[in-house]
Amino acid sequence: DSGVTQTPKHLITATGQRVTLRCSPRSGDLSVYWYQQSLDQGLQFLIQYYNGEERAKGNILERFSAQQFPDLHSELNLSSLELGDSALYFCASSVGLGHEQYFGPGTRLTVT
Amino acid sequence: QQQVKQSPQSLIVQKGGIPIINCAYENTAFDYFPWYQQFPGKGPALLIAIRPDVSEKKEGRFTISFNKSAKQFSLHIMDSQPGDSATYFCAAREGFPGTYKYIFGTGTRLKVLA
């Protein structure tokens, strides 16, 4: 168990809908990262936060947004969902930027 | 644009064999190279990592070999066991303090036969 928690574990929703994925980092970690893992694809970096501030963006769609709250938990919001958004979404945390990342168990999103 | 190329995509070895997974990169600014192990239904877990000023690092049965001039690095699993069956990802870190981010390879699905 990495100490990173993600909820929900599974999410099934329809196209056009909006969902929110939640992540709680390990105790003491200030950095949170979000990744998307599609079938037969590697981990695609989406966005990272450090102590509430956005620090880097990857291949994150404009329909997606995220934030890190004062208690350091983070939420990833996905809107106007499309079938192609079906994937595993992982959150990772680290003590500081660039340090070893510890991954949560992921949220499996299915868009029907 | 795939900045870290990983091969092979899948690998099957007999128990006791030494699977080797390779990664290649172009960006010479990468400064840290971790490997992750992912079991089905779980998140990736850090396995072992290396910095470019070191040519080899061993942790238990896992060894990273790093060739800076060739811009390649590889993971070797000694005396592989069925419990090592998982997907392995290489990664590379880029950026500066305050902006670091990781680029992942596409993964190698390893199956170790009993």
Instruction: Specify burial of residue B43 (Cβ count, 10 A radius: 0-12, 13-18, 19+).
Output: buried
Q: Does A5 touch chain B (CB under 8 A)?
A: no
| pLDDT average, residue stretch B18-26 | 97
pLDDT score of B9: 94
Cα A52 to chain centroid distance, Å, stands at 14
| pLDDT average, residue stretch A95-101 | 83
Between chains, do B97 and A97 touch, taking CB under 8 Å as contact? yes
Q: Suggest the residue from B6, B104, B106 to mutate for an interface test with chain A (most A CBs closer than 10 A).
A: B104
Please report residues of A whose CB lies closer than 8 A to that of B41: 105
pLDDT score of B2: 60
Please report residues of B whose CB lies closer than 8 A to that of A92: 43
Question: Which residue in B has a C-alpha nearest to residue A41's C-alpha?
Answer: B106
A38 band by pLDDT with thresholds 50, 70 and 90? confident
Q: Does A41 touch chain B (CB under 8 A)?
A: yes
Which token pair is A58?
A: 């990857």
Between chains, do A45 and B104 touch, taking CB under 8 Å as contact? yes
B103 forms beta bridges with B92
Provide the shortest C-alpha distance from residue A66 to chain B (in Å). 16
The order of strands in the sheet holding B56-59 is: B4-7, B20-25, B72-77, B62-67, B56-59
| pLDDT average, residue stretch A25-50 | 90
Question: Which residue in B has a C-alpha nearest to residue A89's C-alpha?
Answer: B43
Provide the shortest C-alpha distance from residue B34 to chain A (in Å). 8
Direct distance between the N- and C-terminal alpha carbons of chain A, in angstroms, rounded to an integer: 31
Examine the pLDDT at B1 and tell me if it is beyond 60. Answer: no
Q: Give tens-digit pLDDT for A44-79.
A: 999 999 999 999 898 899 999 999 999 999 999 999
Cβ contacts below 8 Å, chain A against chain B, sum to 60
Q: Does B40 touch chain A (CB under 8 A)?
A: no
B95 band by pLDDT with thresholds 50, 70 and 90? confident
For residue A79, the SS3 value is coil
Q: Does A89 touch chain B (CB under 8 A)?
A: no
